[in-house]
Amino acid sequence: MQKQFFISKIFPDCIDKALEDIGFFKGYISKAKDKYNFLLVKIHYLNCAQANTIKQLALSLGADAAVHKGVISSEVEKTHLIIGATNAQLAKLVDKLKLQPFGLKKLSQELYDYLNSSIKPLKVRKTEFDWAKKTYIMGILNATPDSFSDGGKFDNIDTALDQVNKMLEYNVDIIDIGGESTRPYSKEVLLDEELQRVIPIIKEIRKINKDIPISIDTRHSIVAKEAILNGADIINDVSGFDWDEKMLDVALEQQAPVVIMHSLSSPETMQVSPEYPQNVVNCICGYLHEKTQKLINAGVKKENIIIDPGVGFGKTLEHNIEIVKRTQEFVSLGFPLLIGISRKSIISSIIDLPIIDREDANIALNSYAASNGANIIRVHDVEKHYKAFAVLDRIIKK
């Protein structure tokens, strides 16, 4: 029977194999695939002259570009621009921009750097975090009496170490220890109390395991410093270094990797009618870009910075859904991306489940985020995620 034609879609990640399958010349695949790999690139805050120039150059290359409707008549001062092009077309655009006025030569270099950049691995103790190889699991250890999911379960040495051993059994990559609940409407904890909750646990973990990376989940520079001096490695600050101005000094002094998270305000007020002046993803991307550049300019190594869009921290359900759907846009900022969804209300707002029964839904959301480029998944149940991601990473990672 003669076969009939049919149509299917090929995705960029599979273009090498797809070209080989049709009998394309193998020796030319590595060079040719850029002609078939289509990208959408957004350039922020251009003036009208810049935007018009880029749009016309893109059109001349067979690509396309979208700008604000008021650009052609200069009715707006600034515009964002979205280019749709193949890798090969973008490379030609970079070359053409070098010859243009309006500061576009500088943009040409920035676009070249962006298209050719990769995220460097991060070495913490004996672990090398190679972001292309696997999705890393951060296990949550709340040494608090009032955290929304597990408050009071691990606030003494014995129960905390039992939980740590369970995490280690399933190859947890980072243990994240916190002594202050940052659930919505929670109040700040006194420094002495926070220190008493986390430092003894960190010391005990280091007695049984010298190698596991530990992050300290805190807004307070004194807690961060004491934690690092006693065996922690990474500073995970939900305020994005906004709460305590001395946190940056500690990060620089200790040369510690940092997690910069976006939060609309403090936990006490962040869920009081959260609003954003523009799309939530644009706002968060702008915040994270500004914050990471500030840290780099202050002396923090780029490879020591991890970003987190802060699901649930000053966001409505629709905000949180938008964040997860557009995970790739946070990845495109050029830093390892941490996603913390574990057992949060984004799940119960979609399907009415008690906190303890949210893991299946949690794995679904985390799998989507990882499939779209998230590098670290922060979770309560390490065992279930270890099993899920052992399979998922075989599909999505190189």
Task: Indicate which residues carry an active-site annotation.
Answer: 344, 378
Contact 173, 137 (CB under 8 A): yes
271 φ, ψ to 5°?
Answer: -100, 15
Amino acid type, 272:
V
Burial letters 210-227, b for 16+ CB under 10 A, else e = eebbbbbbbbbbbbbbbb
User: Can you tell me the distance from the alpha carbon of 116 to that of 9, in angstroms, rounded to the nearest whole number?
Assistant: 26
Q: Is 211 helix (H, G, I), strand (E, B) or coil?
A: coil
Q: Which residue has the tokens 């921290």?
A: 313
The side-by-side arrangement of strands in the sheet containing 136-142 is 305-308, 258-261, 234-237, 214-217, 174-178, 136-142, 376-379, 338-339
How far from 46 is each of 78, 93, 101, 215, 290, CA to CA, in Å? 5, 16, 13, 38, 17
Task: Please work out, in degrees rounded to the nearest 5, the angle formed at the alpha carbon of residue 162 by the alpha carbons of 156 and 165.
Answer: 135
Contact 143, 154 (CB under 8 A): yes
Phi-psi region of 242 (alpha: psi -120 to 50; beta: other; left: phi over 0): alpha
Burial letters 84-97, b for 16+ CB under 10 A, else e = ebbebbbbbbbebb
Residue 66 bridge partners (DSSP): 82
What the block records as the tokens of 76 is 């707006």
Q: Which residue has the tokens 């049709």?
A: 22
Q: What is the β-pairing status of strands 122-124 and 127-129?
A: antiparallel
**Is residue 166 classed exposed, middle or buried when 0-12, 13-18 and 19+ CB atoms within 10 A define those classes?**
middle
What the block records as the tokens of 110 is 């920035």
What the block records as the tokens of 367 is 């799998």
Number of CB atoms found within 10 A of residue 240's CB:
24
